[in-house]
Amino acid sequence: MAGRRPRIAVVGGGIGGLAAAVALRRSGVEAVVHEQAPRPTATGAGVAIGANGHRVLRSLGIDRRLATTAVVPLRVDFRHWSTGRTVAGLGIGDSYEQRFGAPFRHLERSALQDALLAAADGIPVRFGARCTGVEQTPDGAVARFADGSVAEADAVVGADGIHSAVRNAVFGPDEAVFSGTSGYRALVPLDRVPDLPELAEPVLWLWVGPGRHVVVYPVAGGRLLNFLAVVPDPAWTVESWVTEGRTGDLLAAFDGWHPSLTRLLAAAERPGRWALYDREPRRAWTRGRITLLGDAAHPMLPHHGQGANQALEDAAVLAALLAGAGPDDVPAALRRYELARRPRTRAIQAGSRRNAACLQLPDGPQATARDADLATLPDRLAWIHGHDALAELRAPAPGEAATRR
């Protein structure tokens, strides 16, 4: 066995699984991706990739390709729900890139998925392969699929998303935690809202108000506006990315909000609507030769915009730790990967939960204090966006916790 490169079965061909396969190949490790969808599909609207995610995309050689349709926002404007007043405006653009060493960009999720698939050219991607179980063997791991096929490998990486079959098979079912909120999201062509000239320049809008908030940003070279509107909704518990909501319900939830926002929401023809769940942070996500990655390992609410970024970081770290490993070294490398990644992703999971409450304060002294504090946001988020997953691996920097809030 000595001298042979490890072979890895990656279950799930989403953002994390494809990034892992590409990163593994660059590290000299063989990977095969097993994806349940019968063909490449990318559901979802926009995704924001910060400097921490971009560093990984750069290491995979795909950040330039994405730059052609990505949008770099000039600023983030926090706006008051009823008056429309900008309570804080923070420059992003060049100053963000200078500070964090890579850009902050808005992408269509499909563009990111396409770029990862193109980069995976030559890596076997088996579509229509729904994993139903995994198990360890004396010197390897096996993934089983609904069509009766089996993949034997030196390790199985479960990158199969929030409902991970790999996680369930290894650790048993865990309980989804419902946030009591749901998110409406849609892509609205810019030309459908000609009465909103303030959206002609690329800004990230964050509308904050009592019990609700809305994130708006342009994607696809500015042709489309992506929004995510988060509303309290204890009765809506459908945890799916592809369920349709009704524009009427959406507008009713934002009755009394500023017309600049409601005009945009009204222009969404068929908004998607999904109940927002996460899971409690895991105590472990590796057992022997089986590990988890991305949402399978650390599902998080979308309020830090970090789900995809963290999956990319995972992919880079996993591949770096498997570089140069022989098949016998794989379990130790997987343990190191989990140890490197768990504290950071746990902190971001917790922060994602806290952020919603902060964005949804009612008018009053707490909201006023929050607005005054927004100017310090870039400093408070530096531990997320300034993180270089690969550099940290080479030289762990103490003190990160000191900058966390």
Ligand X SMILES: Cc1cc2nc3c(=O)[nH]c(=O)nc-3n(C[C@H](O)[C@H](O)[C@H](O)COP(=O)(O)OP(=O)(O)OC[C@H]3O[C@@H](n4cnc5c(N)ncnc54)[C@H](O)[C@@H]3O)c2cc1C
- Sites of contact with ligand X (CB under 6 A): 11-17, 34-37, 43-47, 109, 129-131, 159-161, 165, 241, 294-296, 302, 305, 307-308, 311
Instruction: Please identify, using beta-carbon distances, which residue of 82 and 149 lies nearer to ligand X.
Output: 149
Instruction: Please identify, using beta-carbon distances, which residue of 19 and 102 lies nearer to ligand X.
Output: 19
Instruction: Please identify, using beta-carbon distances, which residue of 87 and 157 lies nearer to ligand X.
Output: 157
Q: Report, in Å, the least distance between residue 82 CB and ligand X.
A: 27
The two beta strands, 125-126 and 290-292, are: unpaired
Report which of 236, 274, 229 is spatially closest to residue 255, judged by C-alpha positions.
229
Instruction: Please identify, using beta-carbon distances, which residue of 165 and 374 lies nearer to ligand X.
Output: 165
Q: Is 355 in contact with 370 (CB distance < 8 Å)?
A: no
Q: At what angle do helices 15-26 and 51-59 cross, to 10 degrees?
A: 50
- The 3-state secondary structure of 326-369 reads CHHHHHHHHHHHHHHHHHHHHHHHHHHHHHHHHHCCCCCHHHHH
Write the single-letter amino acid at 247. Answer: T
Cα–Cα dist 166/18, whole Å:
16
Q: Report, in Å, the least distance between residue 109 CB and ligand X.
A: 5
Q: Report, in Å, the least distance between residue 399 CB and ligand X.
A: 27
**Active-site residue, 217 included:** yes
Report which of 199, 219, 206, 224 is spatially closest to residue 71, judged by C-alpha positions.
219
Instruction: Please identify, using beta-carbon distances, which residue of 27 and 345 lies nearer to ligand X.
Output: 345
Q: Which residue has the tokens 């790999």?
A: 166
Report which of 310, 338, 299 is spatially closest to residue 155, judged by C-alpha positions.
338
Q: Is 269 in contact with 247 (CB distance < 8 Å)?
A: yes
The radius of gyration of the chain's CA atoms, rounded to the nearest angstrom, is: 21
Q: Report, in Å, the least distance between residue 83 CB and ligand X.
A: 28
Instruction: Please identify, using beta-carbon distances, which residue of 86 and 355 lies nearer to ligand X.
Output: 355
Q: Is 330 in contact with 322 (CB distance < 8 Å)?
A: yes
Contacts of 343 (CB under 8 A, 6+ apart): none
Cα–Cα dist 393/281, whole Å:
22
96, 184, 217, 337: the catalytic one is: 217
Q: Report, in Å, the least distance between residue 132 CB and ligand X.
A: 7
Q: Report, in Å, the least distance between residue 44 CB and ligand X.
A: 3
Give catalytic residues, as residue numbers.
217
